[in-house]
Structure 1
Amino acid sequence: MSRLRASLDVAAIAAQRFVAHDGWAIASHIALSILTSLFPFLILLAALAGLFGSKSLADEAGVLIFDAWPREVASPIVGEMHRVLTEQRGGVLTLGALLALYFSSSGVESLRVGLNRAYGLREGRPWWLTRLESIAYVVCGALAMLAFALLVVLGPLIWRKVLDVAPGLEPLSLTVAIARIAITATLIAVVLVIAHKFVAAGRRSFAAVLPGIAVTLMLWFLAGLGFGYYLDRFSSAYASTYGGLATAMVFLVFLYWLAAMFLFGGEINGTVIAARRRRLQAKMQARQAEARPL
C-alpha cells in the first residue's frame, strides 16, 4: 500500500512539473517537428536503401514505423508513405538527401528541448554540435530501420525454407507474425532508452530512466487503443471540422498526445532522480552533523 501511495505521489509531482515546464507547449512543438521531419526521414531512408540496391527495403522499413499505431491513424499515412518511397527522384543522394537529413534531425532536437526541461538541465554545448549529434542519431536510426526491415523481409523467406526441410514445424508459423510485433516493440523501446540516456544533456543510468520509459510505453499502449476506438466511432467529426485536412489533423493530434506522454515519462524520471538526490544530500548532512565534535 505504501509503495502504491509513493507511486501516486510521484505521478502527482510529475504532473505538476509537466505543467510548470510548459509540457503542453513543448508537446505541440515535438508533434509539429516530427510531422515535418517524418517524410524527409523517409526520403533519406529511400536514398540509403538505394545504395544497397533495394528501394523496397525502405518501404518495408517505413511500414515498421507504423506497425504499432492504430489502423485509423496509420492507414492514410502509410498510403502517402508508399508514394514517397516509390517515387523516382533525380539527385536525391546529393542536395536532396542533405536537406532531408537536416530537416529530419529537427525531430531529435525537439525531443532534446523537452527532455532537458523534464530533467531540469540546461544544454551547455554549442548548437552546431548538438545538431551534428542529432544528424548522427538520424543516420544511425535509418540504418537500424533498414537492418530491422531486412530481418522482417528475410524472416518469412527463411521460414519457408525451414518448412520445406521440416514440414512438422508448420504449427509454429504464428511465430513469424509475433516476431514482427516484437521487432516493432524493440525498436520503440530502444529509441526511448537512447532518448532518455543520451539525447538529453548529462548522462543517466539505465535504472534511472527505466521508470519513465515503462510509464511512457504503458500510456502509449492505452493511447493507441483509446484513440483507435475514438476514431472508429467519431472520425466523421474530424472530417466535418477540417475537411480535406482531416487526415493530417488526426495524425498531428495523435502525435501531440504521444509527445505529451513521452514528456510525462521524462518528468517521472526527473521527479525520482530529484527525490533520490535530496535523500542523498540529507544523509550526507546527517553524517557531517554526527562527525562534528560536540
Structure 2
Amino acid sequence: MSSLEEQTIERAQREKELDESQKPSKVTQVNKPNWKYAFKRAISEFLSDGCMDLAAALTYFAVLSIFPGLLAIVSLLGVFGQGEQTAQAILDLLAGFAPADVMSLIEEPITQLTSSSAAGLALVTGLLGSLWTASGYVGAFGRALNRIYNVAEGRPIWVLRPLMLLVTAVLVLVVVLMMAVLVMSEGVINFISGLVPGLDLSGFAAVWAWLRYPVILVLAVILIALLYYGTPNIKQPKLRWISPGALIALITMGIAGMGFSFYVANFGNYNATYGAIGGAIVGLLFLWIMNNVLLFGAEIDAELERSRELQAGIKAEEDIQLPPRSDAQTQKVLEKKEKLVDEGRDLRLKNNGVDFSAMADEKENTSSKAAK
C-alpha cells in the first residue's frame, strides 16, 4: 500500500490526465444518487478522519487567536469612532446563541479593550498579534483539510507561512467588514449623508436595519469558503464563494449554538461541577462544537467533489483525484523516510542471526559472578 506522500506525488503526476470537462460544473448537476452517496460518505469520513480530535486542536489555536483578534477589530474600528459600538455589537451578536457562561468570560476583556487609551499602539500590536496567532489557527485548519482530502503537505515553509498569513489577513478584513456592517447605525448613515451635499439616505436607514443581517450572513459564508479554499494543499477547480459545505456549516453552527446554549441554561450545571473555571469549560466546549461543524462542512464539500468525479467516470472511490498545489516538500519528506527505512534495514541485516537474549543472559550471569 502506498504511503500518503507517494499518493500525493502520484496525484500531482496525473494532473494532466484529468479531464475536468467531464465533471458536473455546478453542484446542481450532481444527480440524486451521488448527493446521497456524498452525505453518507461525509459522515463516515468525518469519523474515520478523526475530525473530533482535529476540532480539539483547532479549539486550542482558536483560544490563542480570540483576544488578539478582538483587539485588532475593536481598535481598527475605534479609529473611526466606532470602538464602543463595535464591542457592544459583538456582545449582542454572541448573546443570541452563546451560553451565558461564555458571555461572562469574554465580556470584561472586550469592554477593557474599548476603554484603553493607547489606541494607536493597540492597533499596531493587535493587528500584528492577531495575524500571527490567528495564522496558527489557519495553518492548523489547512492541516486538518489535508487529512480530509487525503493529501500530504507539499508546500515549502517559505511559501506556506506567508500564504497562511495572507489568508489570515483577508479573513480578519472580512470580520472587520462584518463588524462595520453590524455597527452601521442610523447615526453613521446620517453622518455619511452629511458628507456628500444633496445625498439623502434617510430612507435607506430603515431598510438597512433589516438588510444588514443578510449581508453579514453572506460575509460569514464567504469567510468559511475562504478557509475551505485557501488553506489545504489542494488545487480545486475554482473558488466557490458559496459552497454547499459552507452553507450547511453556517446553518448547523447557528442551530448547534442555540441548542448548546439551551442545554447549558437548562440542564448543564458547569459552575457547580467546575467552580470558577465553569465559564472557561463551557467556552472550550462551545468552540469545539463550532470547529466540529466547520470540519463536517469541509467533509461535505470534499465528498461532493468525489461525487462529481465519480459521475464523470473518474476512479475516485478510494481517493479524491484533485491534484496538490505543490509536491516539492513531499518529495523531500519521502526521501527522508526512505533513507530512515534503509538505515533501519541495514541495522536489521547487520544484526541478523545474533541471539540477543543469549547475550543478555550471559551479561546477567557475568554481573552475578562479579557481585559474589
TM range (shorter): 0.7 to 0.9
3-state secondary structure, aligned to 1:120 = coil
Structure 1 letter corresponding to 2:228: H
Match for residue 260 of structure 2? 227
3-state secondary structure, aligned to 2:312 = helix
Of 197, 210, 224, the residue aligned with 1:192 is 224
| Equivalent pair of 2:69/2:127 in contact (CA under 8 Å) | no
| Equivalent pair of 2:42/2:296 in contact (CA under 8 Å) | yes
Match for residue 277 of structure 1? 309
Match for residue 260 of structure 1? 292
Match for residue 16 of structure 1? 44
CA distance in 1 between partners of 2:137 and 2:143 (Å):
10
The 5 A counterparts of 1:136-147 are: 136-147=166-177
Segments of structure 2 that go 5 or more residues without pairing to the other structure are: 1-30, 194-199, 316-372
**Farther off after superposition, 130-139 or 55-64:** 55-64
**Cα pair distance change 1:14/1:105, threshold 3 Å:** same
**Cα pair distance change 1:156/1:214, threshold 3 Å:** same
Structure 2 letter corresponding to 1:250: V
Q: What is the aligned-residue identity percentage? A: 22
Q: 2:61 matched to 1:33?
A: yes
Q: Tell me how far 1:62 sits from its aligned partner.
A: 4.4
CA distance in 1 between partners of 2:146 and 2:155 (Å):
13
Q: Tell me how far 1:233 sits from its aligned partner.
A: 0.6
Q: Compute the TM-score of the two structures, normalised by the length of structure 1.
A: 0.77
**Cα pair distance change 1:62/1:110, threshold 3 Å:** farther
**Cα pair distance change 1:64/1:145, threshold 3 Å:** farther
| Equivalent pair of 1:28/1:256 in contact (CA under 8 Å) | yes
**Cα pair distance change 1:158/1:49, threshold 3 Å:** closer
| Equivalent pair of 2:38/2:300 in contact (CA under 8 Å) | yes
Q: Which has the larger radius of gyration?
A: 2
3-state secondary structure, aligned to 2:151 = coil
| Equivalent pair of 1:65/1:184 in contact (CA under 8 Å) | no
Match for residue 250 of structure 2? 217
Structure 1 letter corresponding to 2:257: G
RMSD over equivalenced CA pairs, Å:
3.4
| Equivalent pair of 1:216/1:265 in contact (CA under 8 Å) | yes
Structure 2 letter corresponding to 1:16: S
3-state secondary structure, aligned to 2:267 = helix
CA distance in 2 between partners of 1:154 and 1:122 (Å):
44
Q: Provide Cα deviations, 1:200-220, integer angstroms capped at 9, x if missing partner.
A: 222333559722122212321
Structure 1 letter corresponding to 2:141: L
Structure 2 letter corresponding to 1:140: V
| Equivalent pair of 2:249/2:297 in contact (CA under 8 Å) | yes
The ranges of structure 1 where at least 4 consecutive aligned residues each deviate by more than 6 angstroms after the TM superposition are none
| Equivalent pair of 1:68/1:184 in contact (CA under 8 Å) | no
CA distance in 2 between partners of 1:230 and 1:154 (Å):
33
Q: 2:87 matched to 1:87?
A: no
- Between the two proteins, the alignment pairs up a number of residues equal to 275
Segments of structure 1 that go 5 or more residues without pairing to the other structure are: 284-294
Structure 2 letter corresponding to 1:195: L
Q: Compute the TM-score of the two structures, normalised by the length of structure 2.
A: 0.63
3-state secondary structure, aligned to 1:251 = helix
| Equivalent pair of 1:61/1:148 in contact (CA under 8 Å) | no
Match for residue 289 of structure 1? none
